[in-house]
Amino acid sequence: MAVLKILVYPDPRLARVSQAVTVFDKELCKFVDDLEATMRAGPGGVGIAASQVDVLQRIVIVDVSSKPKISSHGRLVLVNPQIVVSEGSLVGREGCMSVPDYTGNVVRARTIQVVAQDEFGERQEYLCEGYEARAVQHEIDHLDGLLFLDRLVSRRRDLFRRKT
Ligand code: NI
């Protein structure tokens, strides 16, 4: 497995829209392994999108199981993910491996139903809540070229510099 290089804001490549995955082969599985290694190498990495390592394919990985006291599915590999139902809204703090110096408050749906394929091309469906739902929404945004910075209600009030 390899740890891949993460694009960092304001790199304009982060704003590109990713394409659907159509080929499910060994190469895809190897890339998913590398993407997961890259996520786990980052401090507090709970999610990553392929576009963050300059691969424009609709692939994200989320694993929030390291956070205490929340329910989750563990490791989620979402290929061609689609949010088919979203309910409620919740403000919460987000960070991003591509925006290392800041966190921000973002409004997200509280509960989502996601349909996706796994790395083998099998259709999967997940009901996600709270922090896991937030992470999935954040990562899917990356596939559409959006960062949490694009979702802040106010840059002045909702953006926070990380303590170094
Ligand atoms: Ni991110």
Q: CA-to-CA distance for 141 and 28, rounded, in angstroms? A: 21
Q: What average pLDDT does the chain have?
A: 96
Q: Compute the distance from residue 98 Cα to the ligand 1 centre, in Å.
A: 6
pLDDT in tens, 76-134: 999 999 999 999 999 999 999 999 999 999 999 999 999 999 999 999 999 999 999 99
Is 151's pLDDT higher than 80?
yes
User: Tokens 């990380």 — which residue?
Assistant: 162
Helix runs in 6-163, H state only: 26-41, 130-143, 155-158
Is 153's pLDDT higher than 90?
no
Residue spans of the domains in the chain: they are 12-161
Q: Compute the distance from residue 97 Cα to the ligand 1 centre, in Å.
A: 6
Is 70's pLDDT higher than 90?
no
Q: CA-to-CA distance for 105 and 96, rounded, in angstroms? A: 12
Q: CA-to-CA distance for 104 and 146, rounded, in angstroms? A: 14
Q: Which amino acid is at 149?
A: L
Res 111: pLDDT: 98
Q: Say if pTM beats, i.e. exceeds, 0.85.
A: yes
Tell me which residues are annotated as active site.
139
Q: C-alpha distances in angstroms, 91 versus 23, 59, 62, 144, 153?
A: 37, 25, 19, 21, 10
Q: What count of other Cβ atoms lies within 10 Å of the Cβ of residue 148?
A: 26
Is 38's pLDDT higher than 90?
yes
Strand, coil or helix: what is 37? Answer: helix
Mean predicted confidence (pLDDT) in 44-58: 96
Fold of 12-161: Peptide Deformylase (3.90.45)
Q: Compute the distance from residue 22 Cα to the ligand 1 centre, in Å.
A: 24
Q: Compute the distance from residue 45 Cα to the ligand 1 centre, in Å.
A: 9
Q: Compute the distance from residue 40 Cα to the ligand 1 centre, in Å.
A: 13
Q: Are strands 90-94 and 159-161 parallel, antiparallel or unpaired?
A: unpaired
